[in-house]
Amino acid sequence: MQFGNAASENVAGRFKFRDVNGDGVINSKDLSVIGNPHPKFNYGLNVNLNYKNFGLTLFGQGVQGNQIFNYVKYWTDFPTFAGNRSTRMLCQSWRPGATDAILPQLRSSDQVSIQPSTYYLESGSYFRLKNVQLTYQLPQALLSRLKLGNTSVYVQGQNLLTATKYSGMDPEINLRNYSAGNDRQIGVDGGSYPVAKTVLVGLNLSF
């Protein structure tokens, strides 16, 4: 049972859509809510370690149990406009002999596979090390000789590590505002700009 034109859709190598209302036809009556943008819980982690003149602070944050509608795949995994494609499309599309695929058989015109479906849904859980800072406090003996107050040097890294299974650029997506007057959409990744990794080297001087 397939969405749309039976001759082109009721063949091997196409997505199977679920007949949600069980009427034997796949159409817009089978639309249903898929996925949940709300995490089961948010959590954070703060660690502060000091040893002799060294100090280490860690801040991590994560969400667990939400899903993201990875709408970027509309552009990368399907023949939408002309442009760059994902390696998924190259290597994991259905073809005779490679039927254990995640994507349908490639064809030049395909308006059916791109319909919103669970294909776009992915786990949005992640844990991200937002901040790491290693500080070295210069020894008092040295400082008094230089006539300085408390002085430290540090190395700081932001967003260095992200643990996630999400395949998009960044699981930490913001609300998506499609265009003026439209509802803001939560949990839809329409190509949100990813956060930057930052490394800072610093010096704290006091006189």
Partner 1 sequence: MKKITIITLVLCVAIASACSDKFLDVQPKAALAVSTLQNKVGVNSLLIGAYSLLDGWATAEGAYRSYQVGADNWVYGSVASDDAYKGTIAGDQPPISLIEQGNIQSDNIYFRGKRRGMYDGIARTNDVLQALAATTDVTDAERQQIIAEARFLRGHYHFELKKMFNMVPYIDEKIYNPNDLESTKMPNNEDIWPKIVADLKAAYDVLPTKQTQVGRPTKWAAGAELAKSYLFQKKFTEAKPLLDAIVASGQYKLMDKFHDNFRAVMNNNTESIFEVQYSVNDGAAGGENGNIGSTLNYPYGGGGVTTCCGFFQPSQNLVNAFKTDGTGLPLMDTFNATDVTSDQGIESTQPFTPYAGTVDPRLDWTVGRRGVQFLDWGVHPGKAYVRDQAYGGPYSPKKHVMYRSDVGTNTFAGNPRLNANNYRMIRYDHVLLWLAEVEAEVGDLEKARGYVNQIRKRAANPDGFVVNPNGKPAANYVISQYTAPWTDRAVALKAVRFEQRLEFAMEGHRRFDLVRWGIAEPTLNAYYAAEAKKRQYLTGVQFTKGKHEYFPIPLQEILNSKKGSTETLTQNPGY
Q: Which chain residues interact with partner 1 by CB under 8 A?
A: 3-8, 27-28, 31, 78-82, 108-112, 114, 179-182
Of 141 and 180, CB closest to partner 1 = 180
State the minimum distance, in angstroms, from the CB of residue 13 to partner 1: 15
State the minimum distance, in angstroms, from the CB of residue 6 to partner 1: 7
State the minimum distance, in angstroms, from the CB of residue 176 to partner 1: 15
- Which residues have a Cβ under 8 Å from the Cβ of 15 and sit 6 or more positions away? 3, 104, 112, 113, 117, 119
How far is the C-alpha of 127 from the C-alpha of 174, rounded, in Å?
16
State the minimum distance, in angstroms, from the CB of residue 108 to partner 1: 5
Burial class (CB in 10 A: 0-12, 13-18, 19+), 62: buried
How far is the C-alpha of 158 from the C-alpha of 87, rounded, in Å?
29
Structure tokens at 72: 């970027």
Of 27 and 198, CB closest to partner 1 = 27
State the minimum distance, in angstroms, from the CB of residue 22 to partner 1: 17
Handedness of CA 175, 178, 180, 182 (dihedral sign): negative
Of 82 and 141, CB closest to partner 1 = 82
Asked if 58 and 44 touch (Cβ cutoff 8 Å), the reply is no
